[in-house]
Amino acid sequence: MQLEVASKEAIAGRSVIVTGAASGIGRALASGFARDGAFVVGVDTNGEGLSELAGEGVRAVVGDVTEPATLRAAVDLVLEGSGRIDVLVNNAGFGAPGTIETLAEEAFRSTIAVHLFAAFYGIKAVVPQMRRQGHGRIVNVLSRAAEACSAANSAYSAGKAALWALTRSVAGELIDDGVLVNGLIPGMTNTGIWGRPRPELQAPDEVYPTALALATLPQGGPNGRVFWDMREYPLFERTIGQGVPMAGAQREE
């Protein structure tokens, strides 16, 4: 399945919450939605980064997405400003590389909390209003890391795999209420997650067309699916049944 290209008019007048909005992909999405006429609330711990978006019309909630109160504050701000909640983009995330022996317990716990619990809190916060409206779009930012499961990347892979499962389950719960829940794989993007500039990778704003399409899906549109660069991506289907590397086998770098 391929998504239809959405016009910027489709999001105009809608309300959107984007987590992890102070930098990278989240910033590009928040900026894009605001530019196209949406009422946007960005959520992040980085208040300075959020303040740079104020000139573009993005309202800010500075706080930790692993705290339910932060997401409730974002909902309150959206309702105060627009009276409705149309879109939630669960984008917040970070990497925590390390082997099972070197990865600190707190780093693993924090990674799972940001990728899974924060999305759970966000969905839980917006669903009552979306149900009342009979309309809502939830976009969870996933990664191929969920299926690739590279060595020394267990925390990030586990977090994204769990977020996929949450996406699928919640999609089934909300379909009769006019709420569509889908996953978005950005692809390799030049963001701070790498710890250094990666100019050979795509720019964050290249993710926006797919996010816009998912945020403005028509009623009866795809639900519980995953999309990458406007096309449906069969997450896990290509890797189920494949074994892990044999002892002594050469690893891909």
| Structural domains in the chain, sorted by start | 8-232 (3.40.50.720)
**Any idea what DSSP says for residue 97?**
-
d(CA 89, CA 182): 10
Q: What is the pLDDT of residue 250?
A: 46
Please report, for residues 65, 170, 203, 216, the alpha-carbon distance to residue 51 in angstroms, rounded to integers and kept in the order given. Answer: 17, 32, 21, 27
Residues linked to residue 189 through DSSP beta bridges, in sequence order: 202
Tokens 């997450």 correspond to 235
Which helix H or strand E contains 62, and what residues bound it? Answer: strand 59-62
Q: Which of 121, 156, 208, 233 is catalytic?
A: 156
The confidence score (pLDDT) of residue 233 equals 96
pLDDT tens per residue, range 145-168: 999 888 999 999 999 999 999 999
How do the pLDDT tens digits run along the chain, 253 residues long? 999 999 999 999 999 999 999 999 999 999 999 999 999 999 999 999 999 999 999 999 999 999 999 999 999 999 999 999 999 999 999 988 899 999 999 999 999 999 999 999 999 999 999 999 999 999 999 999 999 888 999 999 999 999 999 999 999 999 999 999 999 999 999 888 877 888 898 999 999 999 999 999 999 999 999 999 999 999 988 776 666 555 554 444 3
Tell whether pTM > 0.85.
yes
Residue 165 — left, alpha, or beta (φ > 0 → left; ψ -120 to 50 → alpha)? alpha
Q: Please report the pLDDT score of residue 215 as a whole number.
A: 98
Task: Establish whether 156 is a catalytic residue.
Answer: yes
Report which residue type is found at 245. P
pLDDT digits (tens, 9 = 90+) for 51-77: 999 999 999 999 999 999 999 999 999
Residue 80 contacts residue 7 (beta carbons within 8 Å): no
Contact 28, 4 (CB under 8 A): no
Q: Alpha-carbon distance 12 to 58, whole Å?
A: 14
